[in-house]
Each structure stands twice: as C-alpha cells, then as structure tokens.
C-alpha cells in the first residue's frame, strides 16, 4: 500500500453502503467450483482500455466467503465509494481500486509489465492481487497464487472482473486500507466480483 493510496483513503468520506445478504451461516462458498447467484462471476464484456490515466470514484462488488471460525455469507454492495486509478506507461498497465468501507471492502490490483516479459493485458485470467475487508478485519495473501483474478471488462469508464481465493490470512499487526481491527483469523475461501466506474 503506497503512501499516496493511504492518504487518498484517509481523505475520502465513504458512502453509506446498502447490504444485501444472499446466504446464511449454513451455506459455505466453494471457491474451487465457483458460486451461483448474486456473488457469481461476471460475464465477459468490452475490452477497450484507455490510453491515458484515469480515476475510479464509485462502484459495486460482491463477496461470498467462509471464515476460519466457520461463518459464511454472500454480501452484495450495490453502491460503494471507490478509490482507484488506471495508469499506462508505454506498454505497461497498472490498475487498482479499493471499494467499500471498514465493515466490508475489496481491494484489487492488476498489473501487466510487458517490458519485463508479461503478456499484454487482455480479458480473462490476469496477474493480480485481492484484499478482503470482512467484519472490520482485513485479509490479504502474500502469495499471489492464493487468488485467481479474472478481468471481465476494461474501458475508459469501467473496470470489472471476478475472483476466487483460498486460505487468505488476516493481519495481527496491520488493519488494512479501510481501518478496523487486527486479526489472526483467516478466510478459508472467497469468491465474488467487482465493477468500478469513473463516474
């Protein structure tokens, strides 16, 4: 997390977020097989990336998760504040967005460094990282293979995709970009989607 991102997050007044609970504690997500319903992966859309810098300021997302304490839920956030940007430098592309607030949030980082041997960015599976804010606690895997990130749409106005994760640890000494509480718990599995917009 860069100092610039942390400063932007601290300055932002987050929106009040409507929550839609999609499943109770008696239903566990299955990240390996994907999920159905409101937390299911997005369909593939348009790929027409901008050639310059852009910001994301609003969005929506869904997370279906199972925690190490056995609790599980699918939650959809229909309207969330976003802090994010799209940057292009030559053939290289870097995109990030933080969606949500201290109660429930999602961070997505995608980068393609063609000059260093990466494939050009395209729809489908992409190199990226996922962070999960659940019940005021932040979880993020240092091992990028813990999460599979799929880019579903990228235009000058929209950044959207889906993810699945397994065994994502919490932080006992870090509260994450949204603030909240430290934790030594973990996310057993998670899946969901995001859609961030320029306006």
**pLDDT for residue 9 is more than 50:** no
Q: Could you give the CA distance from residue 144 to residue 137 in angstroms, rounded to a whole number? A: 20
**pLDDT for residue 141 is more than 90:** no
- pLDDT at position 6: 34
Q: Quick one: average pLDDT of 73-99?
A: 93
Residue found by looking up tokens 């962070």 in the block = 131
**pLDDT for residue 154 is more than 70:** yes
Domain boundaries, the chain: 3-197
CA-wise closest residue to 192 among 34, 57, 15 = 34
**pLDDT for residue 90 is more than 90:** no
- Global pTM value: 0.81
- pLDDT at position 14: 33
Q: Quick one: average pLDDT of 73-100?
A: 93
Q: Quick one: average pLDDT of 129-147?
A: 92
Cα Rg, the chain, nearest whole Å: 16
- pLDDT at position 23: 39
**Residue with the larger pLDDT of the pair 62 and 13:** 62
Write down the mean pLDDT value for the chain: 83
**pLDDT for residue 194 is more than 90:** yes
Q: Quick one: average pLDDT of 99-125?
A: 92
Handedness of CA 174, 179, 184, 185 (dihedral sign): negative
Query: CB-based burial of residue 56 (10 Å sphere; 0-12 exposed, 13-18 middle, 19+ buried)?
Result: buried
- pLDDT at position 34: 55
| Local structure of 133: helix, strand or coil | strand
């Amino acid at each position: 997390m860069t100092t610039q991102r942390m400063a932007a997050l601290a300055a932002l007044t987050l929106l009040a977020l409507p929550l839609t609970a999609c499943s109770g504690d008696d239903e566990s997500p299955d990240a390996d097989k994907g999920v159905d319903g409101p937390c299911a992966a997005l369909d593939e859309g348009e790929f027409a990336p901008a050639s310059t810098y852009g910001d994301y300021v609003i969005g929506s997302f869904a997370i279906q998760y199972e925690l190490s304490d056995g609790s599980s839920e699918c939650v959809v956030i229909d309207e969330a504040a976003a802090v994010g940007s799209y940057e292009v430098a030559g053939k290289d592309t870097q995109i990030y967005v933080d969606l949500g607030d201290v109660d429930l949030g999602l961070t997505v980082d995608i980068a393609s460094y063609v000059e260093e041997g990466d494939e050009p960015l395209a729809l489908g599976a992409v190199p990226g990282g996922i962070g999960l804010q659940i019940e005021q606690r932040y979880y993020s895997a240092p091992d990028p293979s813990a999460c599979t990130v799929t880019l579903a749409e990228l235009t000058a106005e929209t950044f959207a995709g889906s993810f699945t994760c397994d065994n994502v640890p919490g932080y006992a000494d870090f509260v994450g970009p949204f603030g909240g509480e430290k934790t030594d718990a973990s996310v057993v599995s998670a899946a969901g989607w995001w859609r961030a917009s320029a306006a």
